[in-house]
Structure 1
Amino acid sequence: MTKNETATSVEEFLVWRSNLFQGLKARKETIIELLDALSSNQQAHSVVELSLNPLFRRDYNSLYRGIQEFLPTQTDPNYEQRIETLFSAVSRTIPPTSKHYNLFGIDTTPCPRPFAETLADKTFIHYPNPIKGNKPINIGHCYSVVCALPDQIDTEKVPWAVPLSGERVPSKHKGVNQGNQQLKKIWQSSLFSDKLSALVADSDYSQKDFIGEQVKHEDVVTITRVRSDRVFYRQFIRDPNQAKTSGHPRWYGDKFDLKDDQTWTEPDEVHHVPFTTKKGRQLTVTISGWKQMLMRGTKNYKMNNHPFTLLQIVVRAQERNSIWKPMWLIVIGSRRDELSLVDCYHCYRQRYDMEHLFRFKIIDDILFNSRCTS
């Protein structure tokens, strides 16, 4: 790195640090020192051990108070400005993308706390259990996390996700509802309004009360997985020569049952993408797309006004046999045609980068502890 590049990097870092400092509500010096300790960490395996780092000049009590109090509250008169400043600081850590869209991911992750007797608002959570025969449940909190997913080319194909928002899901709420609130703040930010935004999520987010909120944002395309037992419909297109009849207009056409291939029509578009695994195995990904599909709506969400593209992903080996069950995706949003079927497939594959973030133990603890009292 040349001297000019070093000077530019240092200047950008100082601007980032200043924006972060201004966006914090309280315990500003504590949080800055905590970030310094985390960045230089080589030995700490828990949050409290970061207080032993030479760059953290306070005790462990200040560390936990800083985590719990640094975020601005909605009662703060400068709440919107502080949130915008924090988003500005975080956005500088996202590598610039060469694509014509920004990619985001949303998911929920469990935080088991079965032995925290005084922890408020504990509830039953889904948590994988390695012991055969045991139910995958535990007691604790669940957290909704929204991340920016940088280009894998810029990260040299290393899984990387930049967390933008992490909030605890109250026991009486659903993760999708909490996610709607988080995404609303992000979409309203001017930092991500210059490009099309693609949002990827798993099948839990394919329900109407999530998709129905996201389609309200014109510059957002949502890509979610759907269960293989869902039923959709072709959009009904009336013959222009047919005389209009009285009564309610028809919205839904032929039934499209994902588990019954007899109801499927010929796809509108098909792509074959070669793929090589890390072990050198040659695979072919077949992406079939059906456009102008509809799902049933509700009184609050008129889904007949929001057609989507349905994708079927089939992975085959050289012998042309399918090696996994087909995966179904829906792509919905007014600008969905700006993404090709191959783009949608690669976007969804990148969603799994968030799993590496959840496995980063210290980041998890900081994220969770910052919301334990909320």
Structure 2
Amino acid sequence: MYTLLGNAKDALFDLMDAVLVTRSAYSFVELSTSPVFRRQWSSIYEAIEDGLPPRFELMQLYIAQLPQTRQLVLAGDHTAWSRPHAKTLKDRTYEHQAQPMSGAKPVTVGQGYSTIAWIPEQYGSWALPLLHERITSFDNPISKAAAQLKLVCENLPQRPISLWDVSFIYPHQLA
């Protein structure tokens, strides 16, 4: 995986470690104070700007590591990242948030992301994301999820079982 990261791979690798071991970070500066991030805080910005990890090649590498002994279980998730105050953020969209119990508003302005992950265990919460992609204003959650599932399945040796988050259904279809 390290060799696939391209430019700024050392800083990207440290950044991934910092994200994994930091319970909650509200800024890049907080990530730069992680004991596993061995660089100056500005290298986080440089790593993100210069590093363009090849998603397709990384997905193929992850798939090659999956066990071939049993049927794989994949899960899909649509996540809304609320950014109502980021007025200069490119391509913000209206996103449905399926969190009625939290008191959050059901619709927010921000960006949507679609993730498809391998679920290795029957119980537990660990998962290996195979693809994590932004849903642009030119896409919708269902078409993005379908394209991701097709791409992953084309690279698997056998047909998986797939489970999907209810938030892929449009809010008006829930009524």
- Please confirm whether the aligned pair reaches a TM-score higher than 0.5, indicating the same fold: yes
How do residues 199-238 of structure 1 correspond to structure 2 at under 5 angstroms? 199-202=162-165
Deviation, 1:163, is 1.0
- Say whether residues 1:188 and 2:154 are aligned partners: yes
Q: How does 1:312-327 map to 2 (within 5 A)?
A: none
Q: Does 1:102 align with 2:102?
A: no
Amino acid at match of 1:83: F
- Mark the runs of 5 or more structure 1 residues left unpaired by the alignment: 1-19, 73-78, 208-226, 230-374
Give the conservation status (yes or no) of the 8 Å contact 2:78–2:141.
yes
Give the match's secondary structure for 1:120.
Answer: coil
What residue is the counterpart of 1:142 in the other structure?
A: 112
Residue 25 (structure 1) aligned with residue 24 (structure 2) = no
Q: In the aligned structure 2, how far is the partner of 1:38 from the partner of 1:135?
A: 28
Structure 1 residue ranges, 4+ long, deviating more than 2 angstroms after superposition: 35-39, 41-47, 57-62, 64-72, 87-94, 96-99, 127-131, 180-185, 202-207
What do you get for the CA RMSD once the two structures are aligned?
A: 3.2
The CA deviation at 1:61 is 2.9
Q: Which has the larger radius of gyration?
A: 1
TM-score, L = length of structure 1:
0.39
For residues 42 and 173 of structure 1, the distance between their equivalents in structure 2, rounded to whole angstroms, comes to 32
- Among candidates 21, 37, 41, match of residue 56 of structure 1: 37
Deviations 1:284-318 (A, max 9, x none): xxxxxxxxxxxxxxxxxxxxxxxxxxxxxxxxxxx
The percent of aligned pairs where both chains have the same amino acid is 29
CA distance in 2, matches of 1:90, 1:197: 15
Q: Are 2:161 and 1:176 aligned? A: no
SS in 2 for 1:196: coil
Higher relative contact order (CA 8 A, sep 6+): 2
TM-fit CA distance, 1:135: 5.0
Match of 1:45 among 6, 10, 25: 25
1:67 to 21, 43, 48: 48
Deviation at 1:22, TM superposition (A): 2.0
Residues 1:46 and 1:167: Cα distance change in structure 2 (over 3 Å): same
TM-score by length of 2: 0.77
Alpha-carbon separation, structure 2, partners of 1:198 and 1:107: 15
Indicate how the Cα distance of structure 1 residues 98 and 120 shifts in structure 2: closer, same or farther if over 3 A, else same: same
Shift of residue 62, structure 1, vs aligned partner? 2.2
